[in-house]
Homo-oligomer: A and B are copies of this chain.
């Protein structure tokens, strides 16, 4: 069965919806309403006539119509029977937020077994239990917390609700937005592999972020990932790298962290980009979402800050990109257009007298030279008009990573304009270069994968 009912249900029952602010059953119900969900919504609570003004039913069995998705936030011991009741109402998918299952010990594991059995019998697919829910922004369905509404290109699959929420919050703050996000919890049914496959075929998803501690079936996961990576970029943050980390993973989500070196090498082989922190997971996704794929690894750095340019140069070289010298004829053309204080090397230092127009001329000339595949554009001073220049060149298919820092309050306006144009922005030259390097690595993987065929 398709996972569509989790993300585009025509109706939702929130079982355990509560009138009491601060309780999860209240927050999740409120978030679904506040996110603007357009389908039918049924709060289920035997003790309340209504929740937030929406008519409440004592049990899902009392709902007069069929229901497609159930969001369940009742104590663990009630969940198996609630799932059975859902079956009678035509429910196709259930998000079980409640904890108290396998993660707590043998008694919880038995409850989880009963949950799975009830769901199989009723033909219901399950996300969770013990998870932070699901949010599908295109459906206005925030069955999770905190409230995040901004639609965007990133879909997230996460074994940690907090990592999930952090990515979603940052994407909301920066107006990047998310498409569909899923907290896996104990993954008693739906797992990372199935979601990866589903998101790889979702037209609204441009990039897939994963936080995993292990995978259930390594072979299957990597087979699916390989096929998914041909279609769109996949970025992973994997914990359990150290011996103690692997031990903690086993206790957190009962996953086998596996040998990290093996994961690392297979990630590379199947074209998954690995991030080293939560922020980097987000940084990479942002780059993939907003930038055209570069056609090679020749990078030009254009900067108003000499020091930042050198930091970007060091990082580019260390990450295997090439920062080539500019050919004499290109330098000649630049010399005609730029003031004499500019340093016509790579990094190209427009110095403190830089203007947006100088960036524009430089991008034109370097681009026409055909020598450069991608640009790092560092703006180290207030620079009115720079966002329009960058947007124009990105819209012409050029891969440009903009970095802005040191510009004080004057920077804010240009930042907002870039965000509105859907272009990723970084506040540290090295973070920007790392994100670009991920794009270049993917481009190289795609090229070699096409060349040698899809093994």
Residues of A within 8 A of B (CB): 99-100, 104, 132, 145-148, 158-166, 169, 211, 213, 237, 239-245, 248-249, 251-253, 276-279, 304-311, 313-314, 317-318, 323, 340-341, 343, 345, 347, 349, 351-352, 378, 380-382, 405-410, 427-431
Q: Which residue of B147, B343, B352, B431 contacts A161 across the interface (Cβ within 8 Å)?
A: B352
In the assembly, what is the distance between CA of A56 and CA of B318, in Å?
52
Chain B residue with Cβ nearest A237: B311
Residues of B within 8 A of A244 (CB): 313-314, 317, 323
Is the Cβ of A240 less than 8 Å from the Cβ of B145?
A: no
Residues of B within 8 A of A405 (CB): 162-163, 165-166, 169, 278
Is the Cβ of B165 less than 8 Å from the Cβ of A407?
A: yes
Is the Cβ of B406 less than 8 Å from the Cβ of A169?
A: yes
Residues of B within 8 A of A213 (CB): 307, 310
The oligomer's copy count stands at 2
Given contacts A213-B310, A310-B213, contact A163 B406 (CB under 8 A): yes
Is the Cβ of A279 less than 8 Å from the Cβ of B427?
A: yes
Is the Cβ of B351 less than 8 Å from the Cβ of A99?
A: yes
Chain B residue with Cβ nearest A131: B352
In the assembly, what is the distance between CA of A278 and CA of B432, in Å?
12
Residues of B within 8 A of A104 (CB): 340-341
Residues of B within 8 A of A378 (CB): 162
Given contacts A145-B408, A276-B430, contact A159 B245 (CB under 8 A): no
Residues of B within 8 A of A253 (CB): 306
Chain B residue with Cβ nearest A146: B408
Chain B residue with Cβ nearest A105: B340
Residues of B within 8 A of A239 (CB): 307, 310-311, 313-314
